[in-house]
Amino acid sequence: MDGHEPDFVQRMLSKDINLAVERHELGQKFLMKLADMGPAMGMIGTLIGLVGMLANMDDPKTIGPSMAVALLTTLYGAVLANAVCIPLADKLTYIADQQRLSRTLILEIIGAIQEGINPKVMGEMLQTYLPEGQRAVAGEE
């Protein structure tokens, strides 16, 4: 930031924030696509298991294993979507939001330093990033 115009620094940091957001969105979209595909793949496995079961109806010993494949693939698809992909996508969204917030805070404070704003005022600006219950009351510090 030393020796650069405030507009240049602002543009560069904003670009960094936007590119980070795009990277996180790619990961989120990928995980949500997997979550969408999991149950569909489970249903395909179910159909394969049912075909195997119906093809061998004359042999009662093959009905059980074929039905097990049919049921397990449905379970695996649901587990993949609801216990793995969706929670991971939600966690990535949370992390992305936290990073966006901290990078925005950095951008704002660097701009304030370049403008020569009083440190006490900067402290008050930073307090706005905290939930109201965590903000310091004047004089308690």
pLDDT tens for the 141 residues of the chain, in order: 567 788 888 898 899 999 999 999 999 999 999 999 999 999 999 998 888 888 888 888 888 888 888 899 999 999 999 999 999 999 999 999 999 998 998 888 888 888 889 988 888 888 888 888 887 764 455
pTM of the model: 0.74
Residue 37: partners with Cβ closer than 8 Å, 6 or more residues away: none
Structure token digits, residue 52: 């195997």
Residue 99: partners with Cβ closer than 8 Å, 6 or more residues away: 20, 24
